[in-house]
Each structure stands twice: as structure tokens, then as C-alpha cells.
Structure 1
């Protein structure tokens, strides 16, 4: 799904598991849709276990900390998995190409 936050001019894209937890999250800002986050919960947990959480957060961001069932004030658009994957691949490629 995706949601728009007009106060910050950010599109949020979410992949959610059956329990409602965000497993991957993308944030695109401004009219150019510049990727500012493309975080995976699995990668985040691996980085935490490896003691590399700060590096991961600084590069890719974090996923939402509450399940979607507890969110208020959002009006999500549903996406296909193919639509999400296309945005994910582009955002990850752009973020990974930036100097660390």
C-alpha cells in the first residue's frame, strides 16, 4: 500500500505481512520522488544482531514500529506486489549508489 503525507511531501510505500507488521518501507520525497528510505525489517534485525544498526538506519532508514491496525489518519492506496517491487528496486538502487 502507499500513503501520502503532504506536510513533508513524502510518499510512503509499505509491504505488510499477514499480522499487519510492515516488512519493507520506502519513503520518496518531493516532486522528484527522491528516495530517503528503503528499509527491510529482516535486514534491520540482522544489522541489530551484528551491531551495525546505526549504519543501517543512516543508510536505509527503519520500518514503522506499529502494526497497520493501530495506525490512525491514513488513507492508503492498495498496490500490487509488482508495483511495490518496482519502486523498491529503484529506491534501493539509488540509495545504494550514494556514498556511505
Structure 2
């Protein structure tokens, strides 16, 4: 079952928002700086896999510079993180749309 949740990374004042797939891996990730609510990451596993399979390393580097690097590995233990909470799919979609617009929506 897909889940959507957020955590807070106090050391860098970042809100991390995740859409996790059935196996608990990040399918999409948004990071928003707490100080000014500026999005700094909006990465998608589907896009990363497409680039890996259909493009070159330079395209992957451009993607990572523009949208950030997606978290790897299962998201186990997220409930133990600071400010952890489940969020709705609608809230995640709103954040995703805003972050992609701010970071330049082309992948």
C-alpha cells in the first residue's frame, strides 16, 4: 500500500515528504527548507529509472542538480523520526506540484 508521510531534519531545517511504494521504498520525495518554505528537492524514482535505462550519465547529473537525489533503501523507521506524521495523498500532490514548479518542471 502506498503511504505518504513527512519527517523533519532539524540539523538542516528541512521538511522531508515521501511517497513510499508497497515495499516501503521512496517513489517520490520532496524537501522543503523550513526557514523560507523553499523547495530544494522533488525527485521521482520513475524518472530516475527512465533516465538510467534510456539516457546517458550527463542527463542523470542534470536531473540530480535540478531535482535532487532520491533517498535509497526502505523507509523503515520513519515513524521514529522527529515530527513524523502520515499525510494525505492530496497534501503530497500539492507539495509535489509546488516543488516541481519552483525547481523547473521539466525532467
Distance 2:16 2:34 in 1: 12
Contact 1:5/1:11 (8 A) holds in 2: yes
Deviation per CA, 1:7-44: give whole Å up to 9, x if none: 10000000001100000000111321111110000001
Distance 1:71 1:11 in 2: 13
Deviation per CA, 1:31-90: give whole Å up to 9, x if none: 211111100000011122211110111100121111012669514210000010000000
Name segments (4+ residues, structure 1) moved above 4 Å.
Answer: 70-73
TM-score, normalised relative to structure 2: 0.83
Equivalent residue number for residue 66 of structure 1: 73
| Matched position secondary structure for 2:23 | coil
Contact 2:30/2:39 (8 A) holds in 1: yes
Equivalent residue number for residue 91 of structure 1: 99
RMSD: 1.7
| Matched position secondary structure for 1:28 | strand
Matched, 1:17 2:24: no
Distance 1:37 1:67 in 2: 19
Query: Structure 2 regions of 5+ residues with no counterpart?
Result: none
Query: Structure 1 regions of 5+ residues with no counterpart?
Result: none
**Cα distance change, pair 72–78 in 1 and its aligned pair in 2 (3 A):** closer
* Number of aligned positions between the proteins: 97
